[in-house]
C-alpha cells in the first residue's frame, strides 16, 4: 500500500454510514435533485451497525396525538438536556417519514411496520412511555428495502470502505478519504456536500449489533474542527449476562420484570410510575446500584407475556431467538440473569453538535443519526426515539445537502490542496502497517475497554475514578502511536483503536467537568440534578493538540424545570 491516493471519486453528496440515517440521507438527497450521490459503509450498507438490530421499536406520534404531550414527555424524561426545537421538529415529521419508509420498502415486497388486527399500525408502550408510544418494526427487511430504494434511485453504493478522515480546510469540508480493506486501495471522495451518519463508538463491548461501530467519524470530525456535545452522557443498555441478545424495549412492553437477590421487583423503588418500563438511564444505573449495594445478581422474568406477545417477540427478534434456541432456553419459562451493558457514545451517548438542518459548524458538512448527540433525547427520554431520530434526521440532512447544491455551493479548495491533504491523511492511516511497533491493536483496544467500561467509571462515577481512567487513557494514547498492524484487517483495528482512544478521552474530560448528575451521568460526589448551575450543554472541540471544553446554556423555549434541584432518577425513592 502506498502513501498516494489510488482512486479518486467525485460527487454532489457523499453520505458515510449505511444504516437508517445514512440510507435516508442518500435517498432524500437524490429525490431532492442531487445528481450524483455516493453512499459508503465500512461494512455492507443495510447490514452494518445498529439499524439492522433495532429490536422492533420506532417511537411513533400519530396525527391525533397531542404534540404538546409528546414534546413535554420527551423533554422531562430527558432531564431537560434536549434541544427543544429538535424535539418539536422530530414529532412534527416523524409519522410522514415513517410512512415514506414503509412505502419505499413495500416497493420491493418488504414489510416494515407491524399492523394491529384492524389494519392500523401497531402501537405499544415500553421504556419510558407514559403518554407516548411506539410502533413495532421489522428492522432487517426495513434496511434491505432502503438499500434497494437507494439503488433504484441511482445512488452509488460503496461497501467495505473505511472512511478514515473528513477533509476540511478553513472551516469548509470538501469530502473524505478512506481505505478498502479488501483491495488495499485508498480513495479520495470529493463532495460538494458531505453527510456523516456512521454512528458513535460502542468500544467493541458486550452487546449485539455494534462491534464495528468505533466512533471513527466522531473522532475524524473532531480532528477536522467539528464541535461535539454531551460526551459525558455515557450510554448503556442491559442484556442477558451470559448471552449476546437484545430486544429489551419489546420485552418490557410484554410484561418483563427484574428481581434482585432478595426477590424484590425493585424497579418500582426507582420509578413508582413506570416501574420495569422506566427509561434507560434509570434502569441501567439501578441495576448497577442493586449489585453495587449487595442485592445482586439480577434476574429477568418474562413469564407474564401472553402467547400472542411471545409470538410477536419471536417474529421481531429472530436473531435473539436463534441464540435462545441454540442454548435450549425458553426466556418466557425461566428467569435469566441480567446485567448492564456498556454503549459508550452509541444510542444516546454524546456526539456531533448539529442544528435543526443537521448542519455542523463546518461548512458543507452535515451529520445525522447516532453519530450526533441525538439532540431530542437529552439525557435519554424514551424507547424508540433513536430510530425515529435516525429516520427524520437522515431525511433532513439529505434535504439540507441538496439545498446547499441548489444554492450553488462548490468545492473551494484546489486539486493540489485536496490531494495533498488526502495523501497526508492516508499516510497517517496506513502507518501501523508499514512501521515497526511493539504493541498490537488488540492490546490497545483491551486497555481502552479496561479503562472506561468498569461501572465505577461509566455508571456510578467519582472524580477519583474518572481521573484514574483518564490517566490510563492518556497512557494508552501514547502506546497507540506504536501499534503494528500485520495485515489489512489489523490495519482497520489499528485505526479503530486510535479513534476509540480519542473518544474515550473526550468522554472522561466532559464527565469530570459536569459537577452534577443528569441522564446517564451519575456522579456519586455530586448526586443531585442541579438545574440552577448545570442546565448546560458541554461542548468539545479540538484546539491544536489540546481539548477545548466549554458550556452553553440549554435553550428552554417550550418546557422549563420547576425545581432548582432534583433527586437523580437512579436513586431509590424509598430510603
Assign residue 551 the CATH number of its domain: 3.50.50.60
Per-residue pLDDT reduced to its tens digit, 236-253: 999 999 998 888 888 999
What is the pLDDT, as a whole number, of residue 175? 96
pLDDT at position 317 over 50: yes
502-506: average pLDDT: 99
What is the pLDDT, as a whole number, of residue 207? 79
Picking from 67, 200, 221, the residue whose alpha carbon sits closest to that of residue 520 is 200
Give CA–CA dist 322/301, Å, rounded.
19
pLDDT at position 575 over 60: no
Per-residue pLDDT reduced to its tens digit, 126-163: 999 999 999 999 999 999 999 999 999 999 999 999 99
Give CA–CA dist 509/364, Å, rounded.
29
Domain residue limits at 372? 1-575
472-490: average pLDDT: 96
pTM, entire model: 0.96
404 band by pLDDT with thresholds 50, 70 and 90: very high
Strand, helix or coil for residue 158: strand
pLDDT at position 3 over 70: no
Per-residue pLDDT reduced to its tens digit, 510-563: 999 999 999 999 999 999 999 999 999 999 999 999 999 999 999 999 999 999
pLDDT at position 52 over 90: no
419 band by pLDDT with thresholds 50, 70 and 90: confident
What is the pLDDT, as a whole number, of residue 209? 73
| Sequence-separated (6 or more) residues with CB below 8 Å from residue 341 | 205, 206, 207, 236, 237, 238, 239
Share of the chain above pLDDT 70, in %: 99
Per-residue pLDDT reduced to its tens digit, 9-32: 999 999 999 999 999 999 999 999
Give CA–CA dist 411/363, Å, rounded.
11
Give CA–CA dist 521/461, Å, rounded.
8
Output the CA angle 357-196-203, nearest 5 degrees: 125
Per-residue pLDDT reduced to its tens digit, 85-124: 999 999 999 999 999 999 999 999 999 999 999 999 999 9
382-399: average pLDDT: 97
- Looking up cell 440534578 gives 529
**Count of domains in the chain?**
1
β-sheet with 57-59: strand ranges across:
57-59, 134-136, 123-124
Strand pairing of 186-196 and 7-16? parallel
Share of the chain above pLDDT 90, in %: 89
- Count CB-CB contacts under 10 A for residue 550: 12
Per-residue pLDDT reduced to its tens digit, 270-311: 999 999 999 999 999 999 999 999 999 999 999 999 999 999
Amino acid at each position: 500500500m502506498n502513501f498516494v491516493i489510488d482512486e479518486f471519486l467525485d460527487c454532489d453528496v457523499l453520505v458515510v454510514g449505511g444504516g437508517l440515517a445514512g440510507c435516508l440521507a442518500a435517498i432524500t438527497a437524490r429525490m431532492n435533485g442531487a445528481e450524483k450521490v455516493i453512499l459508503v459503509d465500512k461494512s455492507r450498507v443495510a447490514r452494518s451497525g445498529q439499524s439492522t438490530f433495532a429490536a422492533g421499536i420506532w417511537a411513533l406520534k400519530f396525527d391525533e396525538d397531542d404534540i404538546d404531550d409528546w414534546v413535554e414527555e420527551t423533554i422531562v424524561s430527558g432531564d431537560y438536556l434536549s434541544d427543544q426545537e429538535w424535539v418539536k421538529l422530530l414529532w412534527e415529521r416523524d409519522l410522514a417519514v415513517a410512512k415514506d419508509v414503509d412505502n419505499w420498502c413495500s416497493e420491493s415486497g418488504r414489510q416494515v411496520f407491524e399492523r394491529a388486527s384492524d389494519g392500523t399500525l401497531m402501537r405499544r408502550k415500553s421504556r419510558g412511555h407514559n403518554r407516548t408510544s411506539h410502533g413495532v418494526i421489522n428492522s432487517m427487511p426495513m434496511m434491505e428495502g432502503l438499500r434497494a430504494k437507494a439503488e433504484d434511485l441511482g445512488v452509488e453504493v460503496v461497501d467495505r470502505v473505511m472512511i478514515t478522515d473528513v477533509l476540511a480546510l478553513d472551516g469548509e469540508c470538501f469530502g473524505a478519504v478512506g481505505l478498502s480493506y479488501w483491495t488495499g486501495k485508498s480513495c479520495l471522495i470529493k463532495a460538494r456536500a458531505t453527510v456523516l451518519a456512521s454512528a458513535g463508538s460502542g468500544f467493541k463491548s458486550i452487546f449485539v449489533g455494534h462491534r464495528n461501530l468505533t466512533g471513527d467519524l466522531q473522532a475524524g470530525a473532531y480532528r477536522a474542527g467539528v464541535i461535539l456535545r454531551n460526551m459525558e452522557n455515557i450510554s448503556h443498555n442491559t442484556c442477558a449476562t451470559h448471552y449476546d441478545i437484545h430486544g429489551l424495549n419489546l420485552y418490557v412492553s410484554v410484561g418483563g420484570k427484574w428481581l434482585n437477590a432478595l426477590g424484590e421487583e425493585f424497579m418500582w423503588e426507582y420509578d413508582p410510575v413506570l416501574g420495569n418500563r422506566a427509561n434507560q438511564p434509570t434502569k441501567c444505573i439501578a441495576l448497577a446500584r442493586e449489585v453495587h449495594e449487595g442485592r445482586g445478581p439480577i434476574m429477568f422474568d418474562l413469564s407474564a407475556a401472553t402467547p400472542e406477545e411471545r409470538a410477536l417477540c419471536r417474529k421481531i427478534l429472530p436473531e435473539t431467538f436463534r441464540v435462545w434456541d441454540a442454548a435450549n432456553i425458553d426466556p418466557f419459562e425461566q428467569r435469566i440473569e441480567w446485567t448492564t451493558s456498556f454503549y459508550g457514545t452509541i444510542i444516546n451517548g454524546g456526539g456531533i453538535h448539529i442544528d435543526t438542518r443537521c448542519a455542523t459548524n463546518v461548512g458543507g458538512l452535515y451529520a445525522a443519526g447516532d453519530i450526533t448527540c441525538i439532540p431530542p433525547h437529552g439525557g435519554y427520554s424514551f424507547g424508540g426515539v433513536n430510530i425515529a431520530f435516525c429516520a427524520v434526521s437522515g431525511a433532513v440532512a439529505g434535504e439540507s445537502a441538496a439545498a446547499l447544491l441548489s444554492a450553488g455551493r462548490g468545492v473551494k479548495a484546489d486539486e493540489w490542496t485536496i490531494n495533498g491533504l488526502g495523501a497526508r491523511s492516508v499516510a497517517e492511516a496506513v502507518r501501523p502497517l508499514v512501521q515497526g511497533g511493539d504493541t498490537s491493536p488488540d492490546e490497545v483496544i483491551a486497555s481502552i475497554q479496561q479503562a472506561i467500561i468498569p461501572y465505577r467509571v461509566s455508571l456510578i462515577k467519582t472524580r477519583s475514578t474518572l481521573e484514574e481512567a483518564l490517566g490510563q487513557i492518556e497512557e494508552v494514547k501514547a502506546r497507540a502511536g506504536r501499534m503494528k498492524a500485520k495485515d489489512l484487517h489489523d490495519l482497520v483495528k489499528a485505526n479503530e483503536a486510535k479513534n476509540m482512544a480519542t473518544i474515550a478521552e473526550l468522554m472522561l474530560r466532559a464527565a469530570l467537568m459536569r459537577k452534577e448528575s443528569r441522564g446517564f451521568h451519575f456522579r456519586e460526589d455530586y448526586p443531585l440534578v442541579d438545574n440552577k448551575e448545570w442546565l448546560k450543554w458541554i461542548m468539545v472541540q479540538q484546539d491544536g493538540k489540546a481539548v477545548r471544553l466549554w458550556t452553553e446554556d440549554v435553550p428552554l423555549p417550550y418546557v422549563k424545570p420547576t425545581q432548582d434541584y432534583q433527586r437523580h432518577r437512579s436513586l431509590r425513592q424509598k430510603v
